[in-house]
Amino acid sequence: MEAVNPATEERIASYEEHDADDVEAALEAAHRSFEEWREYPLRERERLLENVAAVLREDQRRYAELMTAEMGKPLSQATAEIEKCAWACEHYAEHAHSYLSDEHHPSPPGTEARTVYEPLGPVLAVMPWNYPFWQVIRFAAPYLTAGNVGLLKHASNVPGCALALEELFERAGYPDGVFRTLLIGSNRVDDVLSDDRVRAATLTGSGPAGRAVAETAGRQLKKTVLELGGSDPFVVLDDADLEAAVETGVRARTQNGGQSCIAAKRFLVHEAVYDEYVDRLVDAFEGLTVGDPMDETTDVGPQADAKLMTELHEQVRRSVDAGATVLTGGEPLDGTGAYYPPTVLANVPNGCPVDVEETFGPVATVYEVEDERDAIETANDTRFGLGASIWTEDRERGRRVAGELDAGCVYVNELVKSDPRVPFGGITDSGYGRELSRAGMLEFVNRKTVWVE
Catalytic positions: 227, 261
Determine the 3-state secondary structure of 282 from DSSP. helix
Q: Which helix (H) or strand (E) holds 405?
A: none
In this structure, the number of other CB atoms found within 10 A of the CB of residue 115 comes to: 16
Residue 214 neighbours by CB under 8 Å, 6+ apart: 224, 226
b/e per residue 188-218 (b: at least 16 CB within 10 A): ebeebbebebbbbbbbbbebebbebbbebbe
Indicate the SS3 state at residue 123. strand
Strand pairing category for 223-227 and 431-432: antiparallel
From the list 66, 64, 57, 62, the residue with the least C-alpha distance to 87 is: 57
Contact present, 389 and 234 (Cβ < 8 Å): yes
Phi, psi of 449 (to 5 degrees): -85, 130
Q: 347's torsion region: left (phi>0), alpha (psi -120 to 50) or beta?
A: left
Residues in contact with 342: Cβ distance below 8 Å, sequence separation at least 6, in sequence order: 250, 253, 254, 258, 285, 286, 288, 290, 300, 328, 329, 362, 364
What is the Cα–Cα distance from 207 to 229, expressed in whole angstroms? 7
Q: Where are the alpha helices (DSSP H) in 207-302?
A: 207-219, 242-254, 274-286
- Of the CA atoms within 13 Å of residue 362, those in its CB half-sphere come to 33
- Which backbone phi and psi does 116 adopt, to 5 degrees? -115, 150
> Measured in whole angstroms, how far is the alpha carbon of residue 225 from the centre of its chain?
12
CA atoms of 80 and 60, how far apart (whole Å): 9
Q: Decide if 165 contacts 135 (C-beta within 8 A).
A: no
89 three-class SS: helix
Residue 392 phi, psi (nearest 5): -160, 150
CA distance 362 to 355: 15
Return the biggest CA–CA distance within the chain: 77
